Chain A
Amino acid sequence: MSAWLTRKQERAGWAFVAPSLIAIGVFFCIPVIAALLLSLTDFDIYALADLGNLRFVGVQNYERLLTNPLFWGAMKNTGLFALLGVPLSIAVSLGAALILNARVVRWRPIWRVMFFAPYVTTLVATAVLWNYLLHTKYGVINWALSGIGLPAVDWLGQPATSIPAILMFVIWKIFGYNMLIFLAVLQTVPDDLHEAARIDGAGAWTRFRIVTLPAIAPTLLLVSIISVAGFFQLFAEPYVMTQGGPAQSTVTVLYFMYEEGFKWWNLGSASAVAFILFVCIFAVTLVQMAVARRLGADT
């Protein structure tokens, strides 16, 4: 009797999760497996015309990528974007959240909307706009620079400044989202802890360090993992603003994958890039988790 009941319950349980399992299977597992298989073939323009031209090549795509200097250049650029972009964007988001959370700020909903607005606007439209802001001759950024006596910068025309220029745009675009997450968690930090710390004579910085930071540490970890994944997948910004130039200085891994796949139509090789990117993001996330555990964050 009870065994029958358990089995019945089990069946019901499976029935309840079946829709999402099917969805995950069809829209995630099958495409991922297909992409993995694709990365082991030389699917190219000839195979597109006739599947008979498809060959299984083993790990040749991976071997060739690892000896391709442009691929390593893309890895380096992506690493640079992530290395500079993740801490900067988190700092800006957290700063904005702290300001909005402060009791002294008035009209907070308006500020919140203003800070969040870039995140929900269309990326391409804002990228075009930033192209104007960054323009060497007519851009407002160079106008401001020359206003304080600094020389004009050819932001998107020089390999040395193209990554910082795109980073400015990306951070402006995304900081609002992380800001909302921080804002939500900041509001859960109990006021009495702050008060107690203040009575004990702690200054603003000490209170931030010993009260706020431990309380938001798990969120900080979550946000940093999401940001790393986001920065590793940077594509549309360089695509719209620089097309990977100047001198391939803004070719990211995803942009490289796009060119492999849709410019040269080497879908096999492009799939291999996707898998290498996946392994990289996975590895960085594991490192982040390990660091967090060492620092004692409650994950």
Chain B
Amino acid sequence: MIPGTGPDRRMVLGLMAGATTSGLVGCAPDDGRTVLRFWAMGSEGTNVLQIIPEFERRHPDIRVNVQAVPWTAAHSKLLTAYAGDSLPDVSQVGNTWVSEMAAIGALSPLPAGAADLLTDQFPAVLETNRIDGRPMATPWYVDTRLLFYRRDLLERAGVGFPTTWTEWKAAMHAVKRVAGTGNYSILLPVNEFEQLLTFGLQGDEPLLADNATRGNFASPSFVAALAFYRSLFTEGLAPVASSTQISNVWTEFERGYFSFYFSGPWSIGDFRERLKPTTRWMTGGVPGPSGPGASAPGGSSLAVFASSPHQDAAWKLVRYLSDPAVQATFNGITGNLPARESAWATPRVAGDPYIAAFKGQLSRARAVPKAPEWERVVTEMQIVAERMVRGEFTPETAGAEINRRADRLLEKRRWMLDRGRAA
């Protein structure tokens, strides 16, 4: 042992202790204000700071501490925080996570006084946030997927924008004829579940049966969706490719490799910036089996956690962020589509031709089943669908196989429901 290690170590420990104490003091200035911890993800995390000062001005007794969380880590971070009892007071959550967070009892349901926050909203988005009849989170911004299409190529093929599956397929065949050899009509990456899920949601049958405890993928309407999906590949309208094989969606779109592309509002900016002005494109609602069809509502909600000691202040923040005027401002900053329908009337939103189709698509949106296992179920659905495209299954056997896998994933949920342990 080197002489003198002892005092040094003590000194270091002392310094560390001092640093920790001063660090804690730094986090919570004792000015009597309530400090709300608010987690926000991705671009919202960086941009929400611009609208928070106004909230703090309106509520001088509350200070908001925004923590930006990357999207890729957000879901596991929330669950880890729940396990470690360190959830924030308020957080942005993907609205497909609500059922899961509600199942573990992490969420604080909307208080009676905040019921007005649920007005002026898109019904399908609201439905996603409602668990067992109770609203558990408040929609913040919305999105959904629809079709981005090459208007110039459709015109050259002499077809209008389709509204039914039959018209759509005829249009795709016409487009393929004018697009040139080696080109297709639509891109359906075989590793993405969203496209097939959209076709499935358009059917009459729900995707999960018996209170979302069993797969219902062998129903006639889902088998029809599977058959339609497969036919797009077998008829040469879509390449059998995964999204990683398409390095640049916009260059391929510009080249005419495909003329229909499934995506959400986040692609508008990319397409506007990267496509040449001579490439004319537009957005349109997804065709359904008979007339304009549904798609899955997406976006983020605001959740207040049951563990928060500052419930009142937390709901004040949610109320502020849900205000249509604030949402319109936030749309100006981020481009997110506001959850409150009245915020869509502002000139910036209303005047954008590419956004117009989203309003119609959102009003036709249909909520996905609210089982916490849903994400895993659709992941398995797509694994089977890819194999069907590659010839391993027929639509009928694929439906049965997806059911088998879904039932296995939902086994615990059935057990819990049987014993009255879950809703």
A interface residues (Cβ-Cβ under 8 A, vs B): 42, 44-46, 48-50, 52-53, 55, 69, 154, 157-159, 243, 245-247, 262-265
Contacts and interface: CB of A to CB of B under 8 A. Distances in A.
Contact of B103 (A46, A55, A243): A46
Given A50-B105, A53-B412, 13 more contacts: A45-B79, A45-B104, A46-B104, A46-B422, A48-B83, A49-B103, A49-B105, A50-B421, A55-B415, A158-B244, A243-B72, A247-B191, A262-B80
A53 B416 contact: yes
Contacts of A53: 412, 416, 421
Given A157-B244, A159-B244, A263 B415 contact: no
A50 B83 CA distance: 11
Contacts, number: 47
**Residue from the set B104, B242, B247 with the largest chain A CB neighbour count within 10 Å:** B104
A264 B376 contact: yes
A49 B104 contact: yes
A263 B421 contact: no
Contacts of B372: 45
Interface residues of B, number: 23
B99 to A, nearest CB: 11
Nearest to B105: A49
19 contacts: A45-B103, A46-B104, A46-B412, A46-B416, A48-B79, A48-B104, A49-B103, A49-B105, A52-B421, A69-B383, A154-B247, A157-B244, A158-B244, A243-B72, A245-B244, A246-B244, A247-B191, A247-B242, A247-B244
A154 B246 CA distance: 12
A116 B107 CA distance: 50
Contacts of B376: 264
Which 4 interchain pairs have the tightest Cβ spacing?
A: A246-B244, A49-B104, A262-B76, A49-B105
A41 B80 CA distance: 20
A157 B246 CA distance: 10
A262 B79 CA distance: 8
Contacts of B105: 49-50
A45 B105 CA distance: 11
Contacts of B383: 69
Interface in B42-89: 72, 75-76, 79-80, 82-83
A42 to B, nearest CB: 6
B93 to A, nearest CB: 15
Contacts of A48: 79, 82-83, 104
B106 to A, nearest CB: 8
Given A49-B103, A243-B72, A44 B247 contact: no
Contacts of B82: 48
Nearest to A262: B76
A263 B74 CA distance: 10
B100 A45 contact: yes
A52 B415 CA distance: 12
B25 to A, nearest CB: 29
A130 B82 CA distance: 34
B412 A42 contact: yes
Nearest to A55: B415
A264 B97 CA distance: 12
Contacts of A263: 75-76
Contacts of A262: 76, 79-80
A43 B108 CA distance: 24
A6 B416 CA distance: 60
Contacts of B72: 243
B212 to A, nearest CB: 14
B383 to A, nearest CB: 8
B415 to A, nearest CB: 7
A69 B75 CA distance: 24
A142 to B, nearest CB: 14
A44 B79 contact: no
A243 B105 CA distance: 30
Contacts of B421: 46, 50, 52-53
Contacts of A243: 72
A290 to B, nearest CB: 39
A58 B105 CA distance: 28
Contacts of A55: 412, 415
Nearest to A44: B412
Nearest to A52: B421
A116 B410 CA distance: 51
Contacts of A245: 244
